Structure 1
Amino acid sequence: MNTATMKHYIDFASRAGFEYLLIDAEWYGPEINSPEEDITTTIPEIDLPHIIEYANEHGVGILLWIYWECARDQMDKAFPLYEQWGVKGVKVDYMNADDQEMVNFYRQVVEKAAQHHLLVDFHGSYKPTGLRRAYPNLVTREGVLGLEYVKWSERCNPAHDLILPYTRMLAGPMDYTPGAFTVSTGEDFQSRIENPMVLGTRAHQLAMYVVYESPLQMVVDHPAAYFGQAGFDFLRVVPTVWDDTKFIDGEVG
């Protein structure tokens, strides 16, 4: 992870017409699950002010990933700073609990983020409970066995995906992180961390942008996987919000 790579991703997002770029884990330190990391500083390889300036010049907003315990302990200092830097939002991750303490934490995050004009995406989260009605800056959340599971499991497959509209989607927006163009429909599928592939077809990946509601959608493959490929023109223009929802006939699975 370095400034040049982030600028490459910004170029991709700008050319594709995507509104945001997420700078993922390790931008502030290598220990991503440590509450001791300082989320108000960056690693030497990341020049965040320059990245944000470059992104603004190209019409791309910057989102930052942060570990939840760091957010809990440092949000009073970090969120005003993010607003000053020009960051547009945060992705808070690895909560993996839904007890009263965690429920309180969610509210504290979205309240503080709203005060500093930051949108919020919760990952490692429990299912939606309506908090976004009070805090519309809570744009989406995970709360699902999402596409990242293909890196270590075959559980994330088309059969699983066809159940979600009738179960998880009833609760509210779902950050499933679809959009992989490196697909496999046969025995050549491999779960792997580097250069992951997904089970199913490209059409299946594109359909999830229509069926799954999430005002903040992701594209999960690397930039070289998209341009010049069938389906990418659709991915560039499919809306993430709309004025009217129409229900189509269907059944679980």
Structure 2
Amino acid sequence: MGSSDHGAPSFVRLAAHPLRWRLLSELSAGDYQVRELVELVGEPQNLVSYHLRQLRDGALVTARRSSFDARQTYYHLDLERCAQELAATGAALHPALRLGPVAPAIGTARPSAVLFTCTGNSARSPIAEALLRHHGGGRVEVASAGSHPRRQLHPEAVQVLRERYGIDLTGRPRHLDAVADRRFDYVITLCDKVREVCPDFRDRPRRVHWSIPDPAATDGDAFVRAADEIDTRVRYLLPRLANHERSEND
């Protein structure tokens, strides 16, 4: 995607459509299936599917088969790509309008509390917990748990965090029951299976889904790819947490 000499940059043309903007806005919070997006935007499924295809063709949105039910597909907004396209869009209008990268931001009010969950709590959710704690600089209360916790952390998860991010991942997987009485502002599921069985928590935290394949079930550099994707999502979560803290303090 890029700008044209005779028209608006393609990001502008894509995002300017009201329904596509609604879809982008909903997907900016987390991953959804088509039927869920239909309910959120209140438009027919064929129309939603058409505009999702436009966003996929423009490389702003990706699709991934559910690891729990392969008949379902989760749609994901590539926030990093959106940031690049927004920066290029500003520069296309005037060099002084080039946007800089998103900076992690955490407010000074009561810290947000975030729970990450996956099935085994041995790779994806502890990686997310460690990365949010790292990027949040102590300004976020964060925990992780699983519906069917493994006996220990996956050694490749420990290795990739140490080698790639300089983080020592320690502790043992724990069950969701161990955090059932805690207050959370966000509960983020990182695998499609646990999304279906994740219990309700008190105070009605915001539920968000990140559809990330189990790296232990994939060959090659799956743990590197999973950690990098989680890291990107965590960095873009931080400004949302800051906004949440400010609204709680108002």
Higher helix share: 2
Larger relative contact order (C-alpha < 8 A, sep ≥ 6)?
2
Q: Tell me the TM-score normalized by structure 2.
A: 0.28
Q: Tell me the TM-score normalized by structure 1.
A: 0.28
